[in-house]
């Protein structure tokens, strides 16, 4: 059968694959977030600052911890290794289309001793002595790509490499956010511990005052016992917070790759920064900024390349098989040396395997559709993450403002109560109530501040901050589909 007939048969098989059209993703997003515009309308954060958003908190220790984590944490190093693996695998897929072959050589010595019969001594026919046979050859196989299979494989390989690249960046993206999140949790616990220790100090002072008043007959035993019970409770709370702080420090050390260091290696400040500004962004920027979205898009390119390759499986395959070799044979009285070269070609055309290829093509078509759907889901999830984070951050900012004012007033009331109790103008119940009210509001304020800082971290992450998107020269590797 002539090559033209093979091509016609392949085209006939391909005509049966009406389901092989790639799907187009729907990435329609709102033009703006539904979150309050006050959060994003006056921000001056640049795209470059968004890449290193943690510097906006003005905390050198946080900057150092995140940089260390991105450089030497197990997660970052593992992501880099996966990226190297993916790139090597992609290169290997393309190398398969280059000429393949191995050089082989053999040598064999045979010693013969005649033990009976007629001894032959003619040159080249002796039955005694040592004979040697040596050969070397190189056999090559080279598939001629007449239909563009290498381009389909290259598209799939580039998609896989891009997906691995974005997966590695996604790991670093999440790692930076996790370090900052745990860091602010640790700061919150340090403040809670300081508050708990202050409460112990105040309760100890109250007990001394109550004991003195009891000795003078100015207070009852019940008041003294109540103060003692509150003091025990305060000490218990301080011990619990101290343990949580140590655990948080250990988590932070593990995140940055220093899990074997003592927890005291992490110094924790007890002053929380103000909430930094959030950058002005629009939902459409998530498609370029979020590494998880770009990874999902790169996987479409990968699956589309595989789909094209599945389509081309119906076409014939042409393979050249050239070869060269040398051989040498010697025996007593005789020597022979030869060299040779050969050239061959094979043609393979699917015939009985067409039903299987059709099923493979349908399966690959379904995988391509799944990749498109996964991309659409990633886009929608990214928008949801960003919009929800902005809405909650706005609520946190308003809550912090209210609690800050409330804490200041409660603090003034508690301080006045201490003075009045010491002067005998207020009873213990009134003083303790004012003290407990202030402590409750202060605890709420600290919790709100920590939650607000953590929400800022979530917002920066949701907006795609924390990885060098601007360092990409082109989007070709991710958007080649």
pLDDT for residue 250: 93
**In this structure, what are the phi and psi dihedrals at residue 437, rounded to the nearest 5 degrees?**
-65, -45
pLDDT for residue 46: 66
Answer whether residue 6 shows pLDDT above 60.
Answer: no
Confidence of residue 279 (pLDDT cuts 50, 70, 90): confident
Q: Are the CB atoms for 70 and 177 separated by under 8 Å?
A: no
Answer whether residue 10 shows pLDDT above 50.
Answer: no
Domain ranges for the chain: 26-97+145-314+350-471, 98-111+123-144+317-347
Paired tokens of 259: 């899990």
CA dihedral 7, 9, 11, 17 (to 10 degrees): -150
pLDDT for residue 91: 86
d(CA 55, CA 39): 19
Length of the chain: 481
Half-sphere exposure of 338 (CA within 13 A, CB side): 9
pLDDT tens digits along 419-433: 887 777 777 667 777
Give first-to-last CA distance, the chain, whole Å.
Answer: 37
> Residue 135, Cβ neighbours under 10 Å: how many?
15
pLDDT tens digits along 435-463: 778 878 888 898 899 999 999 999 999 98
pLDDT for residue 304: 93
Please tell me the pTM assigned to this model: 0.78
pLDDT tens digits along 208-240: 777 777 777 766 777 778 778 888 888 898 899
d(CA 286, CA 296): 13
- Nearest residue to 154 (alpha-carbon basis) of 99, 91, 98: 91
Q: Are the CB atoms for 62 and 180 separated by under 8 Å?
A: yes
Burial of 281 (C-beta count, 10 Å sphere; 0-12/13-18/19+): buried
Q: Are the CB atoms for 361 and 20 separated by under 8 Å?
A: yes
pLDDT for residue 388: 92
pLDDT for residue 478: 39
pLDDT tens digits along 110-134: 887 766 666 666 655 556 678 888 9
Q: Are the CB atoms for 309 and 145 separated by under 8 Å?
A: no
Residue-averaged pLDDT of the chain: 82
d(CA 184, CA 401): 19
- Average of pLDDT values for 148-173? 90
CB proximity list for 316: less than 8 A, separation 6 or greater? 3, 6, 7, 9, 10, 347, 348, 349
- Nearest residue to 65 (alpha-carbon basis) of 267, 245, 241, 260: 267
Fold of 26-97+145-314+350-471: Outer membrane efflux proteins (OEP) (1.20.1600)
Strands 317-320 and 345-348: antiparallel
Confidence of residue 475 (pLDDT cuts 50, 70, 90): very low
Burial per residue of 224-247, b for 16 or more beta-carbon CB atoms within 10 angstroms, e otherwise: bebbeebbeebbebbeebbeebbe
Confidence of residue 366 (pLDDT cuts 50, 70, 90): very high
d(CA 339, CA 328): 9
Q: Are the CB atoms for 386 and 463 separated by under 8 Å?
A: yes
Q: Are the CB atoms for 360 and 415 separated by under 8 Å?
A: no
How far is residue 54 CA from its own chain's centroid?
18
Confidence of residue 35 (pLDDT cuts 50, 70, 90): confident
Percent of the chain with pLDDT over 90: 32
Q: Are the CB atoms for 403 and 448 separated by under 8 Å?
A: yes
Half-sphere exposure of 413 (CA within 13 A, CB side): 18
Residue of higher predicted confidence among 32 and 369: 369
pLDDT for residue 184: 93
pLDDT for residue 62: 92
Percent of the chain with pLDDT over 70: 86
pLDDT tens digits along 290-337: 999 999 999 999 999 999 999 999 999 999 989 899 998 887 767 788
DSSP secondary structure string for all residues of 277-329 = PPPP--GGGHHHH-HHHHHHHHHHHHHHHHHHHHHHTTS-EEEE--EEEEEEE
Domain at 98-111+123-144+317-347: CATH architecture? Single Sheet (2.20)
């Amino acid at each position: 059968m002539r090559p033209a007939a093979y091509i016609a048969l392949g085209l006939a098989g391909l005509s049966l694959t009406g389901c092989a059209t790639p799907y187009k993703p729907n990435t329609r997003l709102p033009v703006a977030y539904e979150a309050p515009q006050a959060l994003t309308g006056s921000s001056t954060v640049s795209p470059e600052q968004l890449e290193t958003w943690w510097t906006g908190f003005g905390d050198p220790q946080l900057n150092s911890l995140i940089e260390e984590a991105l450089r030497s944490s197990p997660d970052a190093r593992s992501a880099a290794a996966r990226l190297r693996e993916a790139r090597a695998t992609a290169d290997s897929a393309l190398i398969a289309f280059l000429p393949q072959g191995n050089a082989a050589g053999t040598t064999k010595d045979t010693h013969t001793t005649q033990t009976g019969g007629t001894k032959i001594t003619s040159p080249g026919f002796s039955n005694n002595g040592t004979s040697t046979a040596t050969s070397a050859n190189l056999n090559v196989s080279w598939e001629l790509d007449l239909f563009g299979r290498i381009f389909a494989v290259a598209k799939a390989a580039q998609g896989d490499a891009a997906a691995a690249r974005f997966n590695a960046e996604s790991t670093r993206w999440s790692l930076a956010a996790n370090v900052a999140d745990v860091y602010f949790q640790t700061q919150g616990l340090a403040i809670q511990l300081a508050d708990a220790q202050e409460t112990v100090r105040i309760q100890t002072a109250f007990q001394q005052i109550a004991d003195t008043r009891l000795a003078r007959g100015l207070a009852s035993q019940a008041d003294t016992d109540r103060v003692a019970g509150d003091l025990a409770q305060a000490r218990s709370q301080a011990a619990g917070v101290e343990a949580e702080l140590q655990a948080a420090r250990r988590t932070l050390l593990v995140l940055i790759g220093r899990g074997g260091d003592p927890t005291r290696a992490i110094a924790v400040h007890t002053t929380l920064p103000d909430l930094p500004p959030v950058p002005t962004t629009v939902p459409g920027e998530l498609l370029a900024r979020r590494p998880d979205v770009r990874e999902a898009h790169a996987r479409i390119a990968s699956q589309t390349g595989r789909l094209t390759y599945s389509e081309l499986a119906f076409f014939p395959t042409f393979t050249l098989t050239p070869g060269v070799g040398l051989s040498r044979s010697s025996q007593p009285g005789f020597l022979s040396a030869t060299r040779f070269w050969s050239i061959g070609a094979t043609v393979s055309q699917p015939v009985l395997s067409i039903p299987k290829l059709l099923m493979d093509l349908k399966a690959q078509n379904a995988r391509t559709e799944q990749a498109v759907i996964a991309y659409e889901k990633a886009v929608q999830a990214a928008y949801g993450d960003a919009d929800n984070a902005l809405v909650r951050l706005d609520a946190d900012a308003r809550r912090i403002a209210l609690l800050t004012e409330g804490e200041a007033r409660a603090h003034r009331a508690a301080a006045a109560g201490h003075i009045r109790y010491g002067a005998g103008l207020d009873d213990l119940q009134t003083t303790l109530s004012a003290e407990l009210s202030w402590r409750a509001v202060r605890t709420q304020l600290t919790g709100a501040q920590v939650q607000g800082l953590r929400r800022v971290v979530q917002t920066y992450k949701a907006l795609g901050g924390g990885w060098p998107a601007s360092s990409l020269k082109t989007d070709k590797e991710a958007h080649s589909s």
